């Protein structure tokens, strides 16, 4: 059973304010909870149906997690999903550490004011697919622990470092190339991207902010063949990451 106080607590984590007050966030659904439990993230508590608990003993066995058996109805009362899942976990938001040392020859993502939680989740999943270890988010990016972001990232959140920071300060200090995704940059297919560096993606509606434009060493664009005015930020990220990584996937 989940007590009323706990249901209230779980619901409070739907909101950023309370997530950061409690330094905790929700992880919903079988697959993502399974990935959470095999990650380095600290899991505080877990709420699941009797059948889930029985089937997943090996996942929860050796960990100090407060475990609560719950009915489908109770889980529904705490969930953000319209089709509620058999399991919900509460994990700790990791302490925001220092920005990692940005290494030559590696690819990093920098996100400027990404607003949509689903887009941020998709971008995290893309980063993980292409082996990008770290994402730098401007301070006004949407919260990476938003339930919609967690769901869209599908476990990739637990494998990708994310730091909220002042991008201007990062760019001012780095010697790495900064590739800016712009509508009027150079044809990305013709660039030598071998040195990698930082790929900067702008806000969904307004693109990269004025203040960051001077730090772009390589403005790049994805050539258009049709009538669409722009690409969704996550789609552009997917295509650009693919371009950065393809040379490594072609080499024998």
The contact set with its own copies (CB under 8 A) reads: 118, 122, 125-132, 152, 154-156, 159, 187, 189-190, 222-229, 231-232, 234-235, 238-239, 242-243, 245-246, 248-250
Instruction: Measure Cα distances from 204 to 65, 126, 144, 230 in Å.
Output: 39, 17, 16, 10
- Taking the complex as a whole, how short is the minimal distance between the CB of residue 73 and its own copies, in angstroms? 25
Q: What is the full DSSP assignment across 122-155? A: HHHHHHHHTT--EEEEETTSPPTTSHHHHHHHTT
**Residue whose tokens read 């920005």:** 99
Residue 110 tokens, joined = 């920098």
Q: How far is the CB of 173 from its own copies (least distance, A)?
A: 26
For its own copies, the closer CB: 90 or 234: 234
Least Å distance, CB 179 to its own copies, is 16
User: Looking at residue 203, what DSSP letter applies?
Assistant: B
Nearer to its own copies, 54 or 224 (CB): 224
Least Å distance, CB 168 to its own copies, is: 28
Nearer to its own copies, 31 or 173 (CB): 31
Nearer to its own copies, 6 or 218 (CB): 218
Contact in structure between 2 and 47 (CB atoms under 8 Å): yes
């Amino acid at each position: 059973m989940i007590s009323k106080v706990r249901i209230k607590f779980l619901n409070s984590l739907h909101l950023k304010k309370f997530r950061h007050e409690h330094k905790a966030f929700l992880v919903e659904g079988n697959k993502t909870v399974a990935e959470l439990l095999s990650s380095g993230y600290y899991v505080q508590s877990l709420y699941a149906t009797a059948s889930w608990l029985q089937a997943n003993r090996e996942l929860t066995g050796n960990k100090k997690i407060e475990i609560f058996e719950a009915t489908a109805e109770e889980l529904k009362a705490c969930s953000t999903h319209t089709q509620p899942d058999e399991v919900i976990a509460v994990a700790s938001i990791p302490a925001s550490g220092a920005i990692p040392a940005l290494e030559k020859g590696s690819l990093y993502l920098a996100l400027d004011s990404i607003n949509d939680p689903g887009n941020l989740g998709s971008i995290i999943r893309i980063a993980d697919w292409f082996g990008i270890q770290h994402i730098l988010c401007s301070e006004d990016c949407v919260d990476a622990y938003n339930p919609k972001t967690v769901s869209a990232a599908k476990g990739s959140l637990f494998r990708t470092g994310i730091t909220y920071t002042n991008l201007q300060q990062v760019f001012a200090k780095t010697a790495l190339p900064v590739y800016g995704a712009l509508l009027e940059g150079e044809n990305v297919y013709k660039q030598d991207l071998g040195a990698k560096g930082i790929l900067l993606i702008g806000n969904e509606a307004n693109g990269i902010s004025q203040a960051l434009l001077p730090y772009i060493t390589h403005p790049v664009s994805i050539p258009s063949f049709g009538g669409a005015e722009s690409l969704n930020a996550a789609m552009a990220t997917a295509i650009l990451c693919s371009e950065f990584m393809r040379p490594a996937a072609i080499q024998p």
